[in-house]
Amino acid sequence: MADSELIFKPAAELAALLAAKQLSSVELTQALIARTRAVDDRVRAFNSFDEADALAQARASDARRAAGQARGALDGLPVGFKDVIAVAGQPLTCSSRMLANFVSPYDATVTRKLKDAGAIPWGRLNMDEFAMGSSTENSAFHQTANPWDLERVPGGSSGGAAAAVAAGEAPLALGSDTGGSVRQPASFCGVVGLKPTYGLVSRYGLVAFASSLDQIGPLARTVEDVAMLLGAIAGHDPLDSTSYPAPVPDYCAELRVRPGPWKLGVPKEYFGAGLDAEVGGAVQAAIEFYRGTGCEIREVSLPVASSYAVAAYYIIATAEASSNLARYDGVRYGHRAAEATGAVDLYFKSRAEGFGPEVKRRIILGTHMLSSGYYDAYYLRAQKVRTLIRNDFLRAFQEVDALLAPVAPTAAFKIGEKASDPLAMYLSDIYTISLNLAGLPGISIPCGFTRGGLPVGLQIIGQPFQEARLLAIARAYEQGHGWRGRHPTL
């Protein structure tokens, strides 16, 4: 089979070819290596990759399969990792100078689970530094480009993960989502990205940005691929104190037994000022598709979430970032200033040299929010608003099974377009951050293209721990459209 036929095949189809022994893991891995060599000098999705290690794991997978000991559907499939998830023996940089030379001594729980399933960790994917950003412009190493238009951003902070899948450099990838960092780049790059319910997937081995908001999530070409990857990484983990002992169904099997129709809500506040007309039109067309298949469409209201989510998010997220990033002090690990006159000077200089401007901005904001006299006025009040935001969604879910909404106000914007305006950048997550505050699952699926050929994503918001239903709703739209058959030309 030609490499050009392999690189854009969905992971489920690749798994079927591997199982039928019509394809070897070595052949697949070699095709991805060749593709990455051919296009990544322009896309720049990867921070690093180890070809020899990937091929060694591919040979081991083929040997297991030949001996009748294959470990399941993921055995032999390469999976890209956002450079914020620990893989033993591989770099763990968070795209920051602070950790530029750091190598992880251990596996994250999701990494261990994927290795146990036979998947091949394939490279370290670029991101906004410490996952703080919406465009991958904050990486300390390089700017990742959107494969659909190399002058535009891929989104962020999981921009490298989304770009790698879109460009045919990886069939599957793991990202992290703190305020939309899986869903927004998935929308910008025309792939599928899922943020699971908070607590469904272990955060052990995920470098923390905002601990009460962070969640690891899969990116892939199809809903079925996402379901396959989610099934491998979900489940309770005693190493993560926020992990929830929810049952993990066979998500792929559940896709086929949940045909609908469903009651679907449309938040009226999400379709007002600020939403690009082409993006809004594509999302509205998707809503009409569901109506045409017999789904009941209801208008719902999220008054608190739509009005206060951005403010609450940037108080809580920056406060937690200030606390989490205090560990990078130049003493134990990470960047250490070469010249310092004492412990305090070492601390100041190491952090000044190691962190980029956006990370510094958020640390300063968060430290202010937690300081004496401001904690109650800002952080405590934001946590109370967070409860009201969750209540907004829970009230809506008394009437509907899921919500339909845009992922972002616009399609991918040009590199540098919003770099000097932090507020404009923050508002690109206006439709996604409320899910992190409420701990809800959400998925972005392709629902069209602008006249300029840029992908548009539909966001489907689900009830807590109802990923099986959420995936089935998403797949119903995907099966009725051919967007997944379109790929960027590089």
Which residues participate in catalysis according to the annotation?
82, 157, 181
SS3 222: coil
Nearest to 242 by CA among 216, 218, 217, 212: 212
d(CA 168, CA 171): 7
344 token code pair: 């305090």
Nearest to 329 by CA among 355, 352, 347, 349: 347
51 token code pair: 């070809």
115 token code pair: 């290795």
d(CA 52, CA 31): 14
How do strand 402-406 and strand 455-462 relate by DSSP bridges?
Answer: antiparallel
442 token code pair: 């959400």
Which strands form 172-176's sheet, in the order they lie side by side?
Answer: 46-48, 120-125, 78-82, 172-176, 216-220, 192-195, 442-449, 455-462, 402-406, 263-267, 296-300
Would you say the C-alpha torsion 165, 249, 407, 382 has a positive or negative sign?
A: negative
55 token code pair: 């091929």
Q: Give how far Cα 264 sits from Cα of 111, 260, 313, 367, 401, Å.
A: 35, 11, 26, 40, 6
282 token code pair: 């594509």
Would you say the C-alpha torsion 287, 290, 291, 295 has a positive or negative sign?
A: negative
SS3 407: coil
SS3 207: coil
d(CA 178, CA 323): 16
Nearest to 300 by CA among 287, 309, 311: 287
Nearest to 195 by CA among 211, 207, 179, 208: 179
